[in-house]
Amino acid sequence: MTRVDHSRMANAIRALAMDAVEKAKSGHPGLPMGAADVATVLFTQFLKFDAADPRWPDRDRFILSAGHGSMLLYALLYLTGYPEMTLDEIKNFRQLGSKTPGHPENFMTPGVEATTGPLGQGISFSVGSALAERLLAAEFGEDIVDHYTYVLCSDGDLMEGVSHEAAALAGHLKLNKLIFLYDDNGITIDGPITLTDSVDQVTRFKAHGWNAVRIDGHDQKAIAAAITQAQSSDRPTLIACKTTIGFGAPTKAGTSKAHGEALGADELLAAKKALGWDYGPFEIPDDVLAAWRNVGKQGASAHADWRSRFDAMGDAQREEFTRRVIERRRPPALADTIRKLKEKLVAEPPTIATRKASEMALEALVPAMPELLLGSADLTPSNNTRTKGLKEVTPADFSGRYIHYGIREMGMASAMNGLSTHGGFAPAGGTFLCFTDYARPSMRIAALSHTPVVYIMTHDSIGLGEDGPTHQPVEHLAALRAMPNMRVFRPADAVETAECWQLALEHTTGPTVLALSRQNLTPVRVSASSENLSGHGGYQLVAAQGEAKVALFASGSEVEIAVAAQKELAARGIAARVVSVPSLDLLLAQPAEHRKAIIGNAPVKIAIEAAVRFGWDAVIGLDGIFIGMSSFGASAPAKALYKHFGITAEAAVEAAAKRLQNL
């Protein structure tokens, strides 16, 4: 095979990007054109991958954090011969049903490692990816796990706050196989970056404990030298690559005009001419395509060698690796572990906070599930996330299973996305429910990308008490329930907490929020049930004596209030039932018939939840009674707050009695 000049290979990326954006009349040509040299050097000389098997576990990860430059990635996948990335897909860029959506979606397109586009998500995801590599290497050996994580990122990625959290965490943990290629093109949508930013990124990353250098991003030798140096660093590396956005476009290169729209027919032709690229739309000359296809096969022998080493592993380790990393199955012992725990809890029902109940569940789950990777955003003693003896991960020792994520909620959530997606781990991280707001952009990526992670969100209502309204969630349950593919559980006691943990871990196509109380709760599930009653989102906890006149629906800490109200109503001769709703979203997702059966036909429907009503109308109807919050909370002891805001059994009883009188 004849050797093809670097520039021609890079120009193939540029040309495909220009052509695809032009055809779609939509997209971002500037980044692919500017970063084509960097990407070409990385893919041709460094990246360990085998296009024939996008899921080879020990491949290097290439994460395009600057997701708007998706055509760079799609061009590389096509050129190197990923089977599903055909030229037709490139031609269908940004069209319905294509594998080439506007921004990369890892659940749509083999070869796309991370769903990116919302800025900062790729770089923070990559920290989890690189961390997973170190953790698995510590467990299974560097013969089996030994790869780099490369990230192409942009000005925007580095301006977002989460870049700080990601860089600080990676620097602290000395994730030296993490390498950022920063496409330093000096242009953002509003214009030159000098309009908005004066940060010295190299100095900044050095302050974060990184190796950091600045190079010419169009000089292939400099790029190769920098990557070689980065590979041997004892720290993560930032390579700031000075590039020209829209490289080659005669009038738009180096300006924000090249960023986010088609170049236009004339500029496109002139750019191809300037680049010496004398080919029509989507035309890649045979020699260039052959050279790229060869790059796609370069890793095949390394892949085969890896397969030999993998086959030579001990059976137990190979099976464990296969289960966790390749097949991503949960351990068979999971259901049994929870069943046994429930039996114990029913035998001696504890009056504890559900955060404590979660800790009890974790004590049982950790030995049964080696991939369970716990952590907290600096609220370990409050979130009850660290089980006894669970070793922490440190820069010097990656054999632990507990991560101190620091005060970095979004960084934690995004790293969990990377940890889960890499394979090998079931990450579960904690903070206060109120601070899901900080993590929300990364939680959304998890929901969109079908990423199974668990958020251990304690202090889930005004029940947290004295810290006050800044820390008391009132709208967060609704906000999370509104998100597609996000499961939200709010268990009422220790038994429900165990059930919800099982459901969370068995839910392998998306993320789960566990909303847990700070305050102690009276047990409500005191009879044995081998069935996981929380599995349909809601179930009848207390039956009415006779036909129910009142139905009380509640979640979490308010279920005991509903139970008390039911008793008082019964004492007054009013038949009432209680439906525990550990997951309103799961209840609403049940088939209509089943949902209606759970909700029932009681003429008075009351929902009790120490949060806003928003969403509950779907259960109780427009005329339903809601006992909960309609404002932010306040700073006071929890009991005083429940009374102050009228979230009491008495209030429910009075409201029910009054309504029944008026019917």
CA distance 33 to 12: 10
Chain-centre distance of CA 449, in angstroms?
A: 8
Annotated binding residue 55: no
Whose tokens are 């930013």? That residue is 197
| Catalytic pick among 22, 267, 320, 409 | 409
Of 237-245, 314-322, 376-384, 506-514, the segment contacting its own copies by CB under 8 A is 376-384
Please say which residue, 206 or 297, places its beta carbon nearer to its own copies: 206
Kindly write out the interface string for residues 387-426 of this chain, putting x where it contacts its own copies by CB under 8 A and - elsewhere. -----x-----------xxxxx-xx---------------
Whose tokens are 């290169």? That residue is 253
Q: What angle do CA 350, 356, 357 make, to 5 degrees?
A: 60
CA distance 311 to 371: 21
| Neighbour tally for 39: CB within 10 Å | 27
Strand pairing class (604-612; 576-580): unpaired
**254's torsion region: left (phi>0), alpha (psi -120 to 50) or beta?**
left
Whose tokens are 């427009």? That residue is 622
Residue 499 pairs with which residues in a beta bridge?
Answer: none
Annotated binding residue 485: no
Annotated binding residue 386: no
Annotated binding residue 259: yes
Token representation of residue 594? 């089943």
Annotated binding residue 370: no
Please say which residue, 178 or 288, places its beta carbon nearer to its own copies: 178
In the range 94-123, which residues lie near its own copies by CB under 8 A? 94-98, 101-103, 105, 115-120
Q: Are 247 and 36 in contact (CB under 8 A)?
A: yes
CA distance 524 to 580: 9
203 forms part of the interface with its own copies (CB under 8 A): yes
CA distance 187 to 26: 19
In the range 293-352, which residues lie near its own copies by CB under 8 A? none
654 forms part of the interface with its own copies (CB under 8 A): no
Give the amino acid at 8.
R
In the list 181, 612, 627, 656, the residue contacting its own copies (rule: CB under 8 A) is: 612
Task: Beginning with the edge strand found earlier in the chain, give each strand of the sheet holding 61-64 in spatial order.
Answer: 61-64, 149-154, 178-184, 237-242, 211-216
In the range 45-74, which residues lie near its own copies by CB under 8 A? 67
Of 40-48, 349-357, 480-488, 655-663, the segment contacting its own copies by CB under 8 A is 480-488
In the list 53, 219, 363, 437, the residue contacting its own copies (rule: CB under 8 A) is: 437
Please say which residue, 27 or 111, places its beta carbon nearer to its own copies: 27
Annotated binding residue 467: yes
Token representation of residue 511? 């993320």
Of 5-13, 35-43, 127-135, 196-204, the segment contacting its own copies by CB under 8 A is 196-204
Please say which residue, 304 or 482, places its beta carbon nearer to its own copies: 482
In the range 542-581, which residues lie near its own copies by CB under 8 A? none
Q: What is the largest CA-CA distance in the chain?
A: 92
Q: How far is the CB of 558 from its own copies (least distance, A)?
A: 17
CA distance 180 to 376: 25
Kindly write out the interface string for residues 441-470 of this chain, putting x where it contacts its own copies by CB under 8 A and - elsewhere. x--xx-xx----------------xxxxxx
User: Could you give the C-alpha distances from 137 to 62, 66, 133, 144, 229, in angstroms and in order?
Assistant: 19, 28, 6, 7, 22
Residue count, binding to its own copies (CB under 8 A): 108
In the list 12, 641, 647, 655, the residue contacting its own copies (rule: CB under 8 A) is: 641
Q: Are 508 and 328 in contact (CB under 8 A)?
A: yes
What helix, strand, coil percent values describe the chain, rounded to 5? 45, 15, 40
Known catalytic residue at 409: yes
In the list 83, 161, 276, 367, the residue contacting its own copies (rule: CB under 8 A) is: 161
Token representation of residue 599? 């909700």
Of 269-277, 474-482, 512-520, 528-536, the segment contacting its own copies by CB under 8 A is 474-482
Kindly write out the interface string for residues 121-160 of this chain, putting x where it contacts its own copies by CB under 8 A and - elsewhere. ----------------------------------xx--xx
646 forms part of the interface with its own copies (CB under 8 A): no
Which of these, 174, 544, 472, 501, lies nearest to 334 by C-alpha position?
A: 501
Q: How far is the CB of 324 from its own copies (least distance, A)?
A: 26
CA distance 333 to 369: 8
Q: How far is the CB of 383 from its own copies (least distance, A)?
A: 10
In the range 19-48, which residues lie near its own copies by CB under 8 A? 24, 26-27
Give the residue numbers of the binding site for substrate.
28, 259, 355, 382, 459, 467, 471, 518
Catalytic residue IDs: 409
Give the residue numbers of the binding site for Mg(2+).
155, 185, 187
Give the residue numbers of the binding site for thiamine diphosphate.
68, 117-119, 156, 185, 259, 435
Give the residue numbers of the binding site.
28, 68, 117-119, 155-156, 185, 187, 259, 355, 382, 435, 459, 467, 471, 518
